[in-house]
């Protein structure tokens, strides 16, 4: 079943085309995504570590909330990630942040 543009209103097609054009203008170029020629700064590395730390904290909170909400269901050891692994990762990220 081929989709033809005849079944869509012209306003919708023009709106989608305009949105795509605006989105492609906002996307950074490939050159802007390249790392600086003099390497990464310590500030950039610390920012990435802090972002990863906060993401892991949020993941731990969601993990605890999900386990608390489903406390009537027996928890299996085959889970994708255990709470201990998340905490281990948080500790190592915290160590990198403090030592770095």
pLDDT digits (tens, 9 = 90+) for 4-22: 656 667 777 788 788 888 8
For the entire predicted model, the pTM comes to 0.54
Q: What is the pLDDT of residue 23?
A: 82
CA 39-44-46 angle, to 5 degrees, is 125
Which residue did the predictor score with more confidence, 5 or 54?
54
Cα–Cα distance measured from residue 83 to residue 100, given in angstroms and rounded to the nearest whole number? 26
Q: What is the mean pLDDT of residues 72-77?
A: 52
Measured CA to CA, the distance from residue 43 to residue 51 in angstroms comes to: 12
Q: How far apart are CA 89 and CA 46, in angstroms?
A: 16
């Amino acid at each position: 079943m081929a989709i033809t543009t005849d079944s869509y209103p012209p306003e919708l097609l023009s709106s989608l085309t305009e949105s795509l054009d605006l989105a492609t203008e906002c996307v950074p170029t490939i050159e802007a995504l390249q790392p600086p020629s003099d390497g990464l700064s310590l500030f950039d590395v610390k920012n990435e570590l802090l972002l990863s730390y906060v993401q892991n904290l949020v993941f731990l909170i969601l993990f605890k909330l999900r386990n608390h909400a489903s406390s009537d269901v027996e928890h299996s050891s085959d889970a994708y990630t255990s709470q201990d692994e998340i905490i281990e990762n948080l500790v190592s990220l915290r160590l990198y942040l403090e030592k770095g």
